Amino acid sequence: MKTFANLQEEVIQKGLCHRCGGCVSVCTAINYGALGFNEEGYPQYKDVEKCIECGVCYMVCPEAAYEEEAFMKAIGWEPPIGPVLAVKVGRAISPEIRQRATDGGVVTALLVHLFKRGMIDGAVVAKRISPFKVVPSLVTSAEEVIEAAGFYHDVSAGVQDWSEKYSTFAPSFEEMRPAMVEKLKRVAIVGTPCQIHTLRKMQFFKVAPSETFYMLLGLFCSGHFNFDEAGRKKLEEIGGFKWDDIAKINIKDALIITLQNGEVKRIPLDEVEDLKRPACKFCEDYAAEFADISFGGIGAPDGWTSVIIRTPKARGAFADARRKTIEEFPLEEDPKLTEKVLETVKKATEIKKEKAKENKKKYLNNG
């Protein structure tokens, strides 16, 4: 049985770990908590003697490819972008949500609907605590979801957060479980593709607390950029603005920076490629291929969200939210819009996969 020692060798030391926190989460939830995070957010042994060599951390790591074939088959993954049941373009009906949201606010509007319908009793989202600092947050009401709307450029360790919430319920899994069932039974989780991949693997291997996952909502992702001091300086040079002037950041086919004075700067992603976190350079998932439903701004008109529905559960939820919290783009204005969205997402995926393979060859000799 492979364990965290193998993850260290095969994933972390090679620079492939994207800090999703899945390994730490499962170890904390079902064992004695042998793992923790170092200062940079990478997993490490907290107390190696507590490791019972169960191998679950290895199973759920998206980079470890454990029983990959069976996993892909079970979720019905198909090339080139994973399962697609339908493509939609939509936006929130609520002007308040639209005003706070990154694109059309469909993620928030769908979560609000799920809360109102009583389909979920919790959601893991990201919450802003300062302009560029966010914390993953477990929310339990529609109001809190609306507060968390928007784009947060940070490494949201949603999975990690879940483990912390989860592990605080009780000191051991056996005691934790009833508390969990009583408190939160159905949780929707918003995450980047790498996080969603880990969560789906937890579900496939039936690892706690995946029995509480109601729906996995994935965000398209070109990468997380490292805006440390050097990164900020570089961005200021490229964009010709001061960091403090930034009002809002979005990523579509470019890094889109809105300044406080309303001016919008579009920085080609190629120009900020070297600001990406190391693992993002090797990541092949653009469209959150393992989600129930995926969202992005690419392909949609400004102020609208592109949506890829992947599972019947998500299709039902989206249909039920239509005309209640979500409105669809009037396709009579552009009958081919959803086809164009799908093509755009496929193209972006192809580019990301090719680049990741090139980078793996170049940096890891592992193409």
The minimum distance between CB 201 and ligand FAD, in angstroms, equals 18
**Residues with Cβ within 8 Å of residue 85, at least 6 apart in sequence:** 309, 310, 311, 312, 314, 315
- Among the listed ranges 47-55, 111-119, 170-178, 340-348, the one in contact with ligand SF4 (CB under 6 A) is 47-55
* 71, interface contact from ligand FAD, ligand SF4, none, CB < 5-8 Å by kind: none
Nearer to ligand FAD, 127 or 360 (CB): 127
What is the DSSP pairing of strand 264-268 with strand 254-259? antiparallel
Interaction of residue 221 with ligand SF4, rule CB under 6 A: yes
Residues 237-276, one symbol each (x = binds ligand SF4 by CB under 6 A, - = not), give: ----------------------------------------
**Residues with Cβ within 8 Å of residue 142, at least 6 apart in sequence:** 111, 112, 115, 116
* 255, interface contact from ligand SF4, ligand FAD, none, CB < 5-8 Å by kind: none
* 22, interface contact from ligand SF4, ligand FAD, none, CB < 5-8 Å by kind: ligand SF4
With contact defined as beta carbons under 8 Å apart, do 258 and 272 qualify? no
Q: Which residue has the tokens 């170092």?
A: 38
Binding site for ligand FAD (CB under 6 A): 101-108, 125-126, 148-154, 156, 158, 190-192, 219-222, 224, 250-252, 295-298, 305
Interaction of residue 34 with ligand SF4, rule CB under 6 A: yes
Instruction: Report how far apart the first and last C-alpha atoms of the chain are (Å, whole number).
Output: 25
- Among the listed ranges 90-98, 104-112, 119-127, 279-287, the one in contact with ligand SF4 (CB under 6 A) is 279-287
Nearer to ligand FAD, 170 or 254 (CB): 254
Nearer to ligand FAD, 125 or 215 (CB): 125
188, 149, 176: which is closest to 29 by C-alpha?
176
* 18, interface contact from ligand SF4, ligand FAD, none, CB < 5-8 Å by kind: ligand SF4
Distance CA 322, CA 326 (A): 5
The minimum distance between CB 137 and ligand FAD, in angstroms, equals 8
With CB under 6 A as the contact rule, the residue among 6, 44, 46, 54 that binds ligand SF4 is: 54
The minimum distance between CB 2 and ligand FAD, in angstroms, equals 28
Instruction: Write out the binding residues for ligand SF4, residues 156-215 only, by CB under 6 A.
Output: 192-194, 198
With CB under 6 A as the contact rule, the residue among 109, 279, 326, 341 that binds ligand SF4 is: 279
With CB under 6 A as the contact rule, the residue among 81, 139, 215, 283 that binds ligand SF4 is: 283
Q: Which two tokens stand for residue 195?
A: 């996080």
Nearer to ligand FAD, 3 or 222 (CB): 222
Distance CA 156, CA 136 (A): 6
51, 12, 86: which is closest to 311 by C-alpha?
86
| Number of residues counted as binding ligand SF4 (CB under 6 A) | 39
**Site residues (CB under 6 A) for ligand SF4?**
3-4, 7, 11-12, 17-23, 26-27, 31, 34-35, 43, 51-57, 61-63, 192-194, 198, 221, 223-224, 279-280, 283, 285
